[in-house]
Amino acid sequence: MKTTDNPARVEQASAGHLLKCVHCGMVQSTVDRMFRCTQCNELLEVVYPLLAEAPREFGLRLREIWKERRTGTLPEDISGVWRFRELLPAIQRNNMITMCEGNTPLVKLTRAARELGLPELRAKHQGMNPTGSFKDTGISVAISMAKAEGYSFVCCASTGNTSASVAAYAARAEMKSIVLLPAGQVASGKLAQAIEYGAHVLQLHTDFDGCLNVLHDVVHRFPAYLLNSLNPYRLEGQKTVAFEIMEQMDWNVPDHVIVPGGNLANGSALGKGFQELRELGLIRNLPKISIIQAAGANPLVRTMRENGGNALVRVNAETRATAIRIGNPASWRKAVAVLNNSGGACEDVTEKEIAQAKAELGSEGIGCEPASAATLAGLKKLVRSGFVKANESVVLVLTGHTLKDVDYMLQAQINRVIGPMPADAAAVVAVLERIHAGN
Ligand code: F0G
């Protein structure tokens, strides 16, 4: 049998997914529109009961199948999400909405590594996804579920990236998208994308948390499928970043993986991905997964500090890293579990530290969003505190593309531009000579 042939067990395993409450543990096979536990109203996560019983050879076989698909030509093999479909809910091919998401580069950060005294520092650049953020990996899976269920409308509340991704994938699926945005708080690149891809864009006089609250009510009154990360299928797509990191690192587990935290689904998804690889026997240990928040939007940091992760401490969020301007994160319980299971840290960083880290990444030729740069700012703090040690390997997850928030960069760095000056070679050379001389 060719290794690309799917063994029947593999298909059965993913076909039979269930939904498990992250709080009371109740398992259910169907979900309501808000994707909440019918018993305690907490969030659900997707579980694959058959995978838990899989023999060790099964994991190794998956590794081979996934590798072979990388040279395939089918859309579901080219996708850096659907390539791992044995660990995703089963979806018929005609409902699969994919744009070759995932497949993002893992790049070495040589200068930052040198400055921090670390042997191996890499950035997994999720900003290289089709709409410029990690959201595409999750939206691809969740919108495919919406399509399979026969919805024609999808919706989300967003700080910007989810809306861009939802709008694009809905367009590809020939569905209609509705996005609720906090008025005046979304970076212009993201707003422009949502408009361009044909979303119905509604700006509300509130913040992200307020938009999500309104959306809760809307989906009870209007038949639109919710694509926020309360939707557990989102995390199934997003967890594949862990699989890609492991493939790209030749299955050597990094000591640390660091993500920014907003609504806290992404860190949770990352943790779920690594956990499933461990359950399949493909890795022995988990990396420490650390979550970094902006100091002005740090509900998880406060929750961990003030009550050890038992009860969410909400905050009024304020940060120029608008992607993570969230004070009442939906997935906080999942994130606390990931921190506890992996032994990761939760830190916050100031606006100045974020700006500095972003400029440093930029000076290595690696652009990203301010929210993504929080990871490097956080890493510096974790190195200073001794949590990340001098011999340890680190992966930063850069979540969004640098062109999403051009205003941020221009405001911070416009003074580095020389001129306007005369259109005259002698004048230009004079400036260059001064630069060369180091003045
Ligand atoms: N980085 C970027 C670039 C983001 O857009 C987001 C979230 C995060 C990090 C945080 O991820 O919420 O899973 O903890 N953006 C959402 C949005 C909220 O609406 O685009 P999280």
Q: What is the pLDDT of residues 124-151, one digit of tens each?
A: 999 999 999 999 999 999 999 999 999 9
Position 50 scores a pLDDT of 85
Count other Cβ atoms within 10 Å, centred on residue 223: 11
Q: What angle do CA 126, 127, 130 make, to 5 degrees?
A: 95
Q: How confident is the model at residue 1 (pLDDT cuts 50, 70, 90)?
A: very low
The C-alpha atoms of residue 197 and residue 193 are separated, in whole angstroms, by 6
The C-alpha atoms of residue 20 and residue 139 are separated, in whole angstroms, by 20
Position 406 scores a pLDDT of 95
**CA-to-CA separations, 275 to 230, 253, 279, in angstroms, rounded:** 20, 12, 6
The C-alpha atoms of residue 176 and residue 153 are separated, in whole angstroms, by 5
Q: What is the pLDDT of residues 61-76, one digit of tens each?
A: 999 999 999 999 999 9
Q: Tell me which H or E stretch contains 413.
A: helix 406-413
% of the chain at pLDDT higher than 90: 91
Q: What is the pLDDT of residues 385-429, one digit of tens each?
A: 999 999 999 999 999 999 999 999 999 888 999 999 999 999 999
Q: What is the pLDDT of residues 363-372, one digit of tens each?
A: 999 999 999 9
For residue 38, the SS3 value is coil
Cβ contacts of 55 within 8 Å, gap of 6 or more: none
| pTM score, whole prediction | 0.95
Question: Per-residue pLDDT averaged across 264-287, rounded?
Answer: 97
Nearest-atom index, ligand 1, CA of 162: 20
Cβ contacts of 391 within 8 Å, gap of 6 or more: 119
Task: Give residue 31 CA to ligand 1 midpoint distance, Å.
Answer: 24
Position 413 scores a pLDDT of 86
Position 13 scores a pLDDT of 52
Position 11 scores a pLDDT of 47
Count other Cβ atoms within 10 Å, centred on residue 421: 10
Look up residue 435 and give its two tokens.
């630069």
Task: Give residue 53 CA to ligand 1 midpoint distance, Å.
Answer: 34
236, HSE (Cβ side, Cα atoms, 13 Å) = 29
Task: Give residue 55 CA to ligand 1 midpoint distance, Å.
Answer: 36
Position 30 scores a pLDDT of 87
Q: What is the pLDDT of residues 295-323, one digit of tens each?
A: 999 999 999 999 999 999 999 999 999 99
CB 181 within 8 A of CB 203: yes
Position 249 scores a pLDDT of 98
Order of strands across the sheet with 44-47? 27-28, 18-21, 44-47
Q: How confident is the model at residue 20 (pLDDT cuts 50, 70, 90)?
A: very high
Query: Does the C-beta of 138 come closer than 6 Å to ligand 1?
Result: no
The C-alpha atoms of residue 109 and residue 395 are separated, in whole angstroms, by 10
Position 211 scores a pLDDT of 98
Position 51 scores a pLDDT of 82
Query: Does the C-beta of 293 come closer than 6 Å to ligand 1?
Result: no
Q: Tell me which H or E stretch contains 186.
A: none
Residue reference for tokens 């301007």: 325
% of the chain at pLDDT higher than 70: 96
For residue 19, the SS3 value is strand
Residue reference for tokens 């000591």: 255
Query: Does the C-beta of 157 come closer than 6 Å to ligand 1?
Result: no
Query: Does the C-beta of 323 come closer than 6 Å to ligand 1?
Result: yes
Task: Give residue 411 CA to ligand 1 midpoint distance, Å.
Answer: 22
Query: Does the C-beta of 189 come closer than 6 Å to ligand 1?
Result: no
DSSP-derived pairing of the beta strands 120-125 and 106-108: antiparallel
Question: Per-residue pLDDT averaged across 194-216, rounded?
Answer: 97
For residue 336, the SS3 value is helix
For CA atoms 53, 59, 29, 21, give the dihedral sign: positive
Residue 175 has pLDDT above 70, yes or no: yes
Query: Does the C-beta of 126 come closer than 6 Å to ligand 1?
Result: no
Identity of residue 46: V
